[in-house]
Structure 1
């Protein structure tokens, strides 16, 4: 491959076998090089292909306008993220993370901290991704001497989660997280006692609520569920069913949308399992 355009010392544009533009990032890959020259092997080379022309143009503009050391921070951060995930993140993470880290670094230089009110929920709901984001922040602090605040761990976590759900936007990921937090608060309030956040049943409830919240926000049709178990669980778990009914009422009041009896039944089962723990 040959260099088509140099973005900075650590990022260049080339073309793949099909002729599509690709962004290559690696330490010194563009240093003292010229368009048309063959790309020299460098350590930790990363290749990014953005199929959307607008996203590709935005990324190129970002990398051209940012200091070379920031593109190196992005490259190293994405390497850490790829190493920690079971599956590669969506290619768009290079765009969203580049923009976010640039703003985060600017805030550090200006002595600003962006509050993250969802930080506890993000850590609880997305434990593996939070651990990866923590490694990213610690790496930037240690290697580059940039004191990113702990709040950035949560924000980077959301970018990682969003990259795992390739068809969603960051705003949708934040909305899902907020809705799950609101529902958990309702369950806690209904039973008037803390939830056992270390139990397997809590983790199963979180997973169910994440899928539920995403479908709810995407306005999918809950009535399409073919198996309605609400009558069965209402008799077996009357208290949990009452809690699920309270959640349904809350969503109707706040979101102007009901969840349907079938979904209420499945939610009842998860609530019943969690609240049947020995300490409840």
Structure 2
């Protein structure tokens, strides 16, 4: 049972649980319709409940909920419903920073402003299912507000969803995408042309870099050292991998283990070889 502290709109209220006396954001169809402050309500199974005790990167949930429109909270809730269909149980406390981002995105769209996200394609490949879940916001905004959201904005929503799944900050996910883009660009520079993003070797390379960055952040170490073999067998790929590892280490402000060089060189050699074969067959 909850006692209503504030009615935000027909579908959203702030309630105080009668047992623990803590505040919650409660969303559900018609839950606030015709209701008044101090009135008691029963929460239904289909209603969404969010604790306002949570603290996020963008501030305390209790403060954020005062600044974010109920409509944006509802939109974020719908996006998380879609994410839950794909991923199962997720950390729904991401609702508040996601709704905050959506509100700013809507303001930009209404003002005719566009943000540029050079990492959109990398996010789409790195976090494929998250991007798919985030894409549901397009029909929601079209239906509710007659607004068209571009894919650069969807990419940022995908990072919020990733944060809800992996218990990883949005800034960390962005850092990973940026590091992956830097690595791919260096490989493309080395081979003198863009890599086919649809190729299997590209996806393997990208996923390897993703986990390499994750290991660098967590301090995890690879156990087998392939440096001597790769350095002799494929010296050019090894040198490229060495440069990339040094740059990524500086970008992440941490030292990548030297063991990473050999593994990265293996993937670089594979993608370079595939690109050569593709070029020769044309």
Q: TM-score range by the shorter chain?
A: 0.7 to 0.9
C-alpha displacement of 1:113: 2.0
Residue aligning to 1:97: 98
SS for the counterpart of 1:196 is coil
The gaps in structure 2 that reach 5 residues or longer are: none
**Take 2:56 and 2:248, find their aligned partners in 1: how far apart are those partners?**
36
SS for the counterpart of 1:3 is strand
- The match for 2:74 among 69, 72, 75 is 72
Residue aligning to 1:199: 199
Equivalent runs, 1:226-241 vs 2, <5 Å: 226-241=223-238
SS for the counterpart of 1:148 is coil
Q: 1:18 to 1:205 in 2, by over 3 A?
A: farther
Residue aligning to 1:25: 27
Residue aligning to 2:125: 124
C-alpha displacement of 1:188: 1.0
Equivalent runs, 1:206-245 vs 2, <5 Å: 206-216=206-216, 218=217, 220-221=218-219, 224-245=221-242
The gaps in structure 1 that reach 5 residues or longer are: none
Q: 1:153 to 1:16 in 2, by over 3 A?
A: farther
C-alpha displacement of 1:35: 4.5
**Take 2:119 and 2:57, find their aligned partners in 1: how far apart are those partners?**
28
SS for the counterpart of 2:49 is strand
C-alpha displacement of 1:136: 1.3
Mean CA deviation greater in 93-102 or 125-134: 125-134
User: Structure 1 or 2: larger strand share?
Assistant: 2
C-alpha displacement of 1:36: 4.6
- 1:167-203 alpha-carbon deviations (Å, 9 max, x no partner): x322222111111100100011111133232233322
Residue aligning to 1:266: 263
Residue aligning to 2:278: 279
Residue aligning to 1:148: 149
C-alpha displacement of 1:150: 3.4
SS for the counterpart of 2:136 is helix
C-alpha displacement of 1:106: 1.8
| Number of positions where the alignment pairs a residue of Structure 1 with one of Structure 2 | 275
Q: RMSD of aligned C-alpha atoms?
A: 3.0
Equivalent runs, 1:40-59 vs 2, <5 Å: 40=42, 44-49=46-51, 52=54, 58-59=60-61
Q: 1:256 to 1:169 in 2, by over 3 A?
A: closer
**Take 1:154 and 1:170, find their aligned partners in 2: how far apart are those partners?**
11
- 1:2-40 alpha-carbon deviations (Å, 9 max, x no partner): 234225122333439766543221232122223554435
Contact 1:2/1:14 (8 A) holds in 2: yes
**Take 1:102 and 1:235, find their aligned partners in 2: how far apart are those partners?**
54
Report the TM-score, using the length of structure 2 for normalisation: 0.82
Aligned: 1:39 with 2:41: yes
**Take 1:54 and 1:123, find their aligned partners in 2: how far apart are those partners?**
25
SS for the counterpart of 2:6 is strand
Report the TM-score, using the length of structure 1 for normalisation: 0.83
